[in-house]
C-alpha cells in the first residue's frame, strides 16, 4: 500500500481496540441515507450514468471494516464487511477515514489527495471518477446524510464540521483546501 505512513490515520492502539468492538450497524443506516438521497436528488444518480450499478469498495485503512456501495438510486445499498471478507468490486478507494469523509463533504480535493498519495484507487478508474464527480456535486453535509432539516441541520453541521476540523488536526491529516 502506498499510503504515507500514519498521516491522518487513527493511532495504532485505537485501530487495534476497534478490532475487538462489535461493528456498528452502519450498513443499514447508510443504505437508507443513499436511497433517501435518490428520491431527493435524482439528478445526482443520472450523473453517475451506467456506473450507478458498479460495486465500489471503500476501504478506510484505519478501520477493521470496508464498505461495499452500489449507488443504484432507490435500489442502492451499502454493506459494511470485515476486511477479510471484502470482495474485489469494480473499483476500490482506500485512505484514512478522515480523508474519505473529507472527500464526501468537499473538504478535500480528490485529485490533490491522489497526487499526494493520501488516497489509493484501484480497478475501474472511470467508475471512481464518476462517483467522485457525483459526490462533488452532491455537496453533502453531515446533517443531510442523516436526513435532518431546518435549524437542527445547521446546528448539527456546525458541530460536526468543528469536530472533524479538530480531528484533522489531532490526526495530522492533510491540510484542507
Instruction: Pick the piece of the chain touching another protein (CB under 8 A) from 8-16, 26-34, 137-145, 146-154.
Output: 137-145
Q: Which of 66, 67, 59 is nearest to 30 (CA)?
A: 67
Site string for another protein, 35-64 (x = CB under 8 A): --------x--xxxx-x-------------
Considering the rule CB under 8 A, would residue 73 count as an interface residue with another protein?
no
> Cβ(62)–Cβ(97) under 8 Å?
yes
Closer Cβ to another protein, 3 or 30, answer by number: 3
The residue count for the chain: 177
Told to check if 137 binds another protein by CB under 8 A, we report yes
Distance CA 55, CA 82 (A): 16
Environment class of 127 (CB within 10 Å of its CB; exposed 0-12, middle 13-18, buried 19+): buried
Kindly state the smallest distance separating residue 125's Cβ from another protein, in Å. Answer: 4
Q: What's the CA gap between 73 and 48, in Å, rounded?
A: 10
Instruction: Note whether 132 binds another protein by CB under 8 A.
Output: yes
Q: Check the CA dihedral 106-111-115-121 and report its sign.
A: positive
Closer CB to another protein, 32 or 53, in the complex: 53
Give buried/exposed letters for 55-64 (b at 16+ CB in 10 A, else e): bbbbbbbbbb
Residue 17 Cβ, how far from another protein at the closest point, in Å? 27
Instruction: Determine, following the binding rule CB under 8 A, whether residue 126 of this chain makes contact with another protein.
Output: yes
Q: Which of 112, 155, 159, 170 binds another protein (CB under 8 A)?
A: 112
Least distance CB 142 / another protein (angstroms)? 16
Enumerate binding residues for another protein (CB under 8 A): 1-2, 4, 43, 46-49, 51, 106-112, 114-117, 120-122, 124-134, 136-139, 174-177
Amino acid at each position: 500500500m502506498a499510503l504515507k505512513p500514519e498521516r491522518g490515520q487513527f493511532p495504532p492502539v485505537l485501530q487495534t481496540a476497534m478490532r475487538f468492538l462489535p461493528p456498528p450497524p452502519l450498513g443499514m443506516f447508510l443504505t437508507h441515507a443513499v436511497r433517501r438521497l435518490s428520491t431527493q436528488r435524482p439528478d445526482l444518480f443520472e450523473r453517475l450514468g451506467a456506473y450507478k450499478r458498479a460495486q465500489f469498495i471503500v476501504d478506510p485503512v484505519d478501520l477493521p471494516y470496508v464498505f461495499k456501495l452500489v449507488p443504484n438510486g432507490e435500489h442502492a445499498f451499502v454493506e459494511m464487511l470485515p476486511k477479510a471478507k471484502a470482495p474485489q468490486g469494480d473499483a476500490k478507494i482506500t485512505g484514512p477515514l478522515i480523508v474519505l469523509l473529507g472527500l464526501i463533504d468537499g473538504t478535500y480535493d480528490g485529485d490533490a489527495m491522489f497526487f499526494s498519495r493520501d488516497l489509493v484507487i484501484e480497478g475501474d478508474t472511470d467508475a471512481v471518477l464518476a462517483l467522485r464527480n457525483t459526490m462533488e456535486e452532491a455537496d453533502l453535509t453531515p446533517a443531510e446524510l442523516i436526513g435532518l432539516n431546518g435549524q437542527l441541520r445547521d446546528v448539527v453541521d456546525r458541530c460536526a464540521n468543528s469536530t472533524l476540523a479538530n480531528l484533522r488536526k489531532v490526526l495530522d491529516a492533510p491540510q484542507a483546501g
